[in-house]
Every structure is written in structure tokens, then in C-alpha cells.
Amino acid sequence: MLKTQIRTSTINNLLEKSAQKNYGKYLSKLIIKKVRGFTDQPVAFDFPVTAIIGPNGGGKTTVLGAAACAYKDVTPRRFFAKSGIYDESMLDWSIEYEIVDRALNPKDSIRRTANFKNRRWNRDAPDRKVLMFGVSRTVPANERAELLKCARGDFKVPVDQISAFPDTVREAVGRILGKDVTGYKSMRIQNSGRIQLLTGVTLKGLGYSEFHFGAGESSIIRMIAEIESADDQALILIEEIENGLHPVATIRVVEYLIEAAERKRVQVIFTTHSNEALMPLPSKAIWVATQDRIFQGKLDVGSLRAITGQIAKQAAIFVEDELSKAWVEAAIRQRNLTLIDHVEVHSMQGDGIAVATHKYHNTNPAISIPSICFIDGDSREHDDASKRIFRLPGEMPESYIFDSVLNVWDKFGRKLSVALLREFDQLGAVKKICEDVRRENMDPHLLFVQIGERLGLLPEETVRMAFCTIWAQAFPQEADKIVSAVSSSLKGRTT
């Protein structure tokens, strides 16, 4: 399983810095009062690296463009161009901002507005360096018109226009791409330096030009070099950050951006369809755009279809996390197997985002299928059967499931051992491991991880599903309550 290398302490320090507005320049918040499908939708930048996710056409680029328009460095038409009489919907578009700019106000935030009236954008935008990396950054060198002059047999660049990359660039690119880029260089094609061609070197020392780079390799080198040469406290905007990248490289790019946010105090906002891009980020750093609403919170990108009703099932079920997902699915599978074909269960990674998404789903007139929400026993959200928000049994889910299953060991211990991929004759050893882990455990969220480690590095998902399945078999009445909540919401819909 892919993992991030960012420390929790780094995340917490940056969260605190954002909360205290400890920056010289920082975009703290924007409110899309009216732009495209959004009305009165706030986006708070509680972390200096922010991901905007959502389905195609959901409004990710709208949010990115709204952020860009906060500053003089970007013209609004870069994102919101008007095409004659064909864009009359732009009438009265407006975006409000809360901005930190210590040069303008040393003690407090300033407020600004960008609006489209009388067929033009009006704004009093402060200065700040903004770097824009659009999807065109991954266009291969041989398809870029400005580099075609370099694709000649007699092409040559003076030595004084060729430069090696600084150590910070080489180290960052090396970590992201997983290769040594010590011999890589940049050639200025024009004296202004606006057009450049990259060169690399093989393991045998043979040189080659950017025309033989991978698109992702080229875009990463250029992007990192530009970020490193930019002023501190710049705003960096990136469209579809995963374009041209392997999943591991995508994680490493986001890790680099977090490190750059800490070291150079830059702020980054990017759009993505990639779960890997979200992995290093805290929940507060992720916003979901869904055509007319914007939610804060981490979720699986695969859930986006369910949020907008784009699933071929009779209902969507939103739960807090992967454990709740396994738990609900196990209850349905064990107690009403036919029902499993009519629903999709989606982990939303937080009770707030699960409830908010569920409420949006059921109040959106464009979505015809219902949704159901299950919150954990320790959630501060309110359960309400009339709104199809149900509470799972117990307090701490991991503890409740774990302890419940151990309490029926005499009857179900053999089944659990087999589900944990052990032989019948290892029943006693498995029980001892479970008891030892429970006695030594200090964080119930890690119970299934620790069991897996003691059982020969068994994946957490396998342990989790084993316990949830045995729980559903051992406690049919409790499992039936979960299934009943689902089936009652689907009356007349299943076939």
C-alpha cells in the first residue's frame, strides 16, 4: 500500500500557521457569491496546500479560477472569458475574498471583491506572484510550436546559455521521479529565457534532449524549477496535478509542495481526480466541488459518482471511514445478500463530510436515487431516521467490534481464525495474539493493524473484514438493524 512520507508534526505545524494567519501574503478564504453553477459557496484555505476534487464539470476549475482572480497577477479572462452575446449568464458574477497582506494591513485580514458588471471585470486586487501550471504543461516537446526550431540537425546553443539546475531542484525532481537528474540542464533558446529546452543524460553518460523526455518528466522538472526560482509566499495554481505521472510520483509531488509550503511559505491550490494526490493531505485541505455545492473533507475519489447520482444502483450509502464501510457491507452480505446488488457503500473519511454529502445528495432535484448515511457511535453528528441518518452500535467502532467478537470466542473463534488465514489447530495462538494486542493497545484505531502485524503482516483490510464478518454472524439482531435501515429506505425500488 502506498504511504506518504510527510510527518504528522509537519501537517500540524502548517495547520496552526494557517489558523493563526502567520503569513505575509495568504489567501485565507473566498466566497463564490455567484459564478457558473455556484451561489454563496465558501472555500476556506485552512492548509497552505489545498486540493479541489470533483466529477468532470463539477466546478474544480471554477474554484481554481476564483482563487486566481484574487490577485492582480492573473487576468480574470484566463479562467472566465466572455464570448460576446453567448455568455450572458456572467451577469452579476461576484467573488468575495479574505486576504492576508501584511504590506497593506499588518494586523488583520483585508476584504476584496471581484465582480463582473457592465460587461467587464471589476476588482481592487493586491499584488502577489501567482504561478499557473495548466494541463498544457504535459504537451510533449515535439508538439510544442515554440520548440520546433530546436528540432533541426544543425541546432546548437552557446555554452553560456546552458545551465545546470540548483541542488534544490535536482533533489526534489530526483525524489519525485525516482531517478538521478544530476546531469540534467536547461538551455535558453531566447536571451529573455522565456523559451527553454531541457537536456538529460543516460546512465552511460550520453546526452539527449527534451524531445526524448516523457511528458510527465518534462513537466515536473519545469514546474519544480519555476517554483524554486519564484519569490517566497507566491500562490501556485496547478490543474490536474496527476497528469502524466505514476501514482507514486503523484504522492511525491504533493509531498514536495507541502515541504515547499513550509520552507518557502508558498500557498498551493490544485485540482485532481487522484486518490494518491490526497494521501499526504489532512481532511481540512480537501474541498469537493459538485456543480452547485462545495464541501470540505477527505473522501475517496471513487465516491464522486455517488455524490452526483451517477451510479447504476438503487441507493448510495455514505459512511465515515473504511471500517464503517466494511461493517455495513458485512452486515448486508450476511443478513440480506440480494440487497448488496442494489447499493453502493462509500467511505467519506469523516462524519461531517458523510452527513453533509448525504444531505446534499437527498436535496438535489437532479439526483433520483436516495442515499443513506451511517455515523459511528462516537460521532457528534445527530442521527435522524426521518432523514435517513442512522447511528452504528457501540461507541468506538474498532473497540466495539473487536471486543464483541472476542466475547463469543468459544462459538466463533474457529471461524475467525480461518478468516484470518490460519489453520484450525492455530486457534489458541490466534486467541492469545488477540488478547495480547487488546491488553497492550493504546489507540483502538490501530487494533486491526496490530493484529495484522502479529499474524505475519496480514493486511489491515483482511483483518478488518474478518472481524466485521464474524460480528455480523454472531450478532444477527444488531446486524439486522443496519440492514433494516437500508431496506426500509429502498422500499419499492429493488427488483
Amino acid found at 355 = V
Q: Grid coordinates 438535489 are at which residue? A: 364
Amino acid found at 415 = K
Nearest to 236 by CA among 140, 113, 104, 134: 134
Query: What mean pLDDT do residues 216-229 have?
Result: 92
Residue 261 has pLDDT above 80, yes or no: yes
Domain definitions of the chain by residue range: 8-133+232-289, 141-213, 299-495
Decide if 268 contacts 261 (C-beta within 8 A): yes
Say which CATH topology domain 8-133+232-289 has: Rossmann fold (3.40.50)
| The three cell numbers locating residue 454 | 502479529
Half-sphere exposure of 65 (CA within 13 A, CB side): 16
Distance CA 439, CA 2 (A): 29
Helix, strand or coil for residue 388? coil
pTM (2 decimals)? 0.79
Query: Mean pLDDT score of the chain, rounded to an integer?
Result: 90
Residue 188 has pLDDT above 60, yes or no: yes
Among the residue ranges 208-222, 406-420, 426-440, the one predicted with the least confidence is 208-222
pLDDT given for residue 369 in this prediction: 83
Q: What is the pLDDT of residues 56-84, one digit of tens each?
A: 888 999 999 999 999 999 999 889 987 77
Instruction: Tell me whether residue 323 is exposed, middle or buried, using C-beta atoms within 10 angstroms of its C-beta: 0 to 12, 13 to 18, 19 or more.
Output: buried
Amino acid found at 285 = A
Distance CA 421, CA 189 (A): 62
pLDDT given for residue 495 in this prediction: 42
Q: Which residues, listed in sequence order, are joined to residue 100 by a DSSP beta bridge?
A: 26
Helix, strand or coil for residue 74? coil
* Interaxial angle between packed helices 409-419 and 397-407, expressed in degrees from 0 to 180 and rounded to the nearest 10: 120
pLDDT-derived band at 200 (thresholds 50, 70, 90) equals confident
Q: What is the pLDDT of residues 405-431, one digit of tens each?
A: 999 999 999 999 999 999 878 889 999
Q: Which residues, listed in sequence order, are joined to residue 9 by a DSSP beta bridge?
A: none
For 102, which DSSP code? T
